[in-house]
Amino acid sequence: MKRKEAEAAGSTAREMRRTADLLNALARADSSPSQKARARAHPEMERIARRFAAINDTLEKGVKAGSVSRAQLRSIGRNFAAIGKALNP
């Protein structure tokens, strides 16, 4: 991997870890009684989790191969686009 690509990958990984940490903190946050009363299931979060799992599967294959192909990058992009659609129906 070229130096600039490695730096971009490292920066992306740091921000994704930060996102994961914030989502975990949100999941553990105490809700007020009124928030609990209004709480509902969010099926889009399950769909988003499946898309991230697909992205991770593709990245694992890239790690084993030593690089990610253009087709794999397109697959990752499609999964991120689907995440965006799930968040903005």
Over residues 21-71, the pLDDT tens digits come to: 998 898 888 888 887 777 777 888 899 999 999 999 999 999 999 989 999
Q: What sign does the CA torsion over 88, 24, 75, 5 have?
A: positive
Q: What is the pLDDT of residue 89?
A: 77
Q: Which residues contact 44 (CB under 8 A, 6 or more apart)?
A: 86, 87, 89
Looking at the predicted structure, is the pLDDT value of residue 1 above 70?
no
DSSP per position, 28-87: HSPPPHHHHHH----HHHHHHHHHHHHHHHHHHHHHHHTS--HHHHHHHHHHHHHHHHHH
Q: Distance (Å, rounded) from C-alpha 86 to C-alpha 80?
A: 10
> Tens of pLDDT along 17-35?
999 999 889 888 888 888 7
